[in-house]
Structure 1
Amino acid sequence: MTKSTTTVRKNISSGGAYESVFGYSRAVRAGDDVHVSGTCAPAEQEGKDAYIQARAALEIIEKALREAGAGLEHVVRTVVYLRDIKDADDVARAHLERFDKVRPASTLVQVTSMLRPWQRVEIEAYAKLSSEL
């Protein structure tokens, strides 16, 4: 009997306005891999500091992971984009609170702007569900 090499793909939608305009999914599960798109805080976080916005983005990421059958404990990599590198300590604090025991590989990059001028941070996450980990 041969093992099937077909990868099951599941697109996860948050219902965000830009998903249909831009043509993307909040997250995609392909087999044991879950890729969560860059995630910013929602509009109600406008005017909030980077720590609060990072926490909100991580909550959205966690919800997408759960819908894909994963959790924060499955995250193996994050990418953090900051508009102002001076926010690094605040965003790092939010990241540590959620990933203290997990300790995923992570990259932090400063960018010149975000989609909305009030957004301070955007976070991507990659998770692996394999039992080999």
Structure 2
Amino acid sequence: MKVVSTKEAPAAIGPYSQGMVVNNVFYSSGQIPLTAEGELVEGDVVVQTHQVFKNLQAVLKEAGASLDSVVKTTVFIKDMNDFGKVNEVYGEYFHTHKPARSCVEVARLPKDVLIEIEVIALVK
């Protein structure tokens, strides 16, 4: 097992890592809309989703993977009414490559953010 850690994404806010690589598969922790410095990104779900993807790209890169090698995503949103907006931003990052996905509405997310996404990807 290899622990993935990069300063290009926010540090874990608890007793966990940004991600793990096991047998050439990367498992990310959920990424929320914090900057690499740990500051919460203010704004609507569109702004927050873009920041989440910026964080995912950083941890994927550190793991030796990319959005193109993602095989599964799990999207947690605070309000299912935001599904269309989230889907639009999501499609900007996964426009030709479309990994399997689950999307669920949750009662609350860390720091009261609007979205959290985790990924599973193949490492090159």
Interval of TM-score (by shorter of Structure 1 and Structure 2):
0.7 to 0.9
CA drift at 1:27? 1.1
2:25 counterpart of 1:33:
yes
- State the AA in 2 paired with 1:53: Q
Deviation per residue, 1:5-64 (Å, 9 max, x gap): xxxx2111246251xxx3211111112100011110013412x11011111101101110
Number of the residue aligned with 2:56? 61
Q: TM-score, normalised by structure 1?
A: 0.82
How many residue pairs get aligned? The number is: 117
Distance (Å, rounded) in 2 between the aligned partners of 1:13 and 1:69: 12
Task: Name which one, 1 or 2, has greater alpha-carbon Rg.
Answer: 1
Number of the residue aligned with 2:104? 109
- The 4+ residue runs of structure 1 with deviation greater than 6 A are none
Number of the residue aligned with 1:96? 91
Distance (Å, rounded) in 2 between the aligned partners of 1:62 and 1:55: 11
State the SS of the aligned residue for 1:38: coil
Distance (Å, rounded) in 2 between the aligned partners of 1:51 and 1:28: 27
From 78, 95, 117, the equivalent of 1:123 is: 117
Number of the residue aligned with 2:41? 45
Distance (Å, rounded) in 1 between the aligned partners of 2:111 and 2:123: 33
Deviation per residue, 1:65-116 (Å, 9 max, x gap): 1001111100000000000111111111111100111100001100001121
Distance (Å, rounded) in 2 between the aligned partners of 1:17 and 1:80: 18
Q: CA RMSD in A?
A: 1.4
